[in-house]
Amino acid sequence: MMSAALSTLQLCGFVILEDVFAPAVIKQVHAATSLLIGSSLLASLTTATLRAGRLETVMPFQEPFNTTKVLVQSSVTKLVTSYLGGTPALDLFAMISAPNGTEDQGLHRDTQAPGSVTAHVPLQDLTETFGPMQFASCTHVLDVAVKPKVETEGPFVTATINVGSMVLYDSSVVHRGSANSYGEVRQALMASYTKVDKADLGEGDHLMKILKEGHQTSSLEQAARFREAFPGLMLRAQGLDEQRHACDGHAEL
């Protein structure tokens, strides 16, 4: 499965991965974000500088957001490692909100060079009218000197996915968030990864650089805490996987 996913990501610049997270985990995260709405903490971590009225909120470093079951899914981590060609570092962990009534975003790339990949994890089931992401296949940047052209009218692949599924995409692939006329705020987690040797807290061509331009100091502090904790979370998840496999082997005996 992961081999096919890697091939799709390499060819198309994005891949839809179904049933990655237990729906109960995502519902727990959604409930936790709902409790934060209207709080001074959330306001201090949110910027309205994204395209077409989207809001970006850096997640606070607290449960359930800073746990392995949310941040580290072993199969996804292995896929990211294979795609980047090295151990990934967490660049940015945030929530993207699309209020009801927001229009299609303009087509764009999150970064302009290779070396970054982003996970998009919706907290609600996404329908055609609930602001799903749309992707222009094969438009990711493999060479900074050659950027694929994009037809503004498409065709596009629309990621209408359910809770527990996600889209993993090269941060340089052309995409947009589509209009939300569903009647609710659409919320999705966004985790961006880069190779460890490129994770320089913002000087490279990845999302942390953009974050510094639009967020308050409190956002930068929370983002840094996630970045620092991520290697340990990966090791902990790896240990749990190894323990689980050992138990499975023992059970078979």
Alpha-carbon distance of 165 to 5, in angstroms, equals 13
Cα distances from 124 to residues 58, 134, 179, in angstroms, run 19, 17, 15
Residue 207 has pLDDT above 90, yes or no: no
Q: Can you give the length of the chain in residues?
A: 253
Give the model confidence (pLDDT) of 113-135 as tens digits.
888 999 999 999 999 999 999 99
Q: What is the pLDDT of residue 241?
A: 55
Give the model confidence (pLDDT) of 26-60 as tens digits.
999 999 999 988 899 888 898 877 899 999 999 99
Question: Residue 24 sits in a domain of what CATH number?
Answer: 2.60.120.620
* Domain range for 28: 2-248
Q: How many domains does the chain have?
A: 1
Q: What is the pLDDT of residue 143?
A: 84
Cα distances from 231 to residues 28, 103, 157, 169, in angstroms, run 24, 37, 33, 21
Which positions ≥6 away from 153 have C-beta within 8 Å?
none
Residue 153 has pLDDT above 90, yes or no: no
Classify residue 253: in a domain, yes or no: no
pTM summary value: 0.90
Quote the mean pLDDT of the chain: 87
Classify residue 128: in a domain, yes or no: yes
Q: What is the pLDDT of residue 212?
A: 66
Nearest to 167 by CA among 128, 221, 119: 119
Which positions ≥6 away from 14 have C-beta within 8 Å?
8, 135, 137, 140, 157, 167, 168, 169, 170, 173, 175
Classify residue 125: in a domain, yes or no: yes
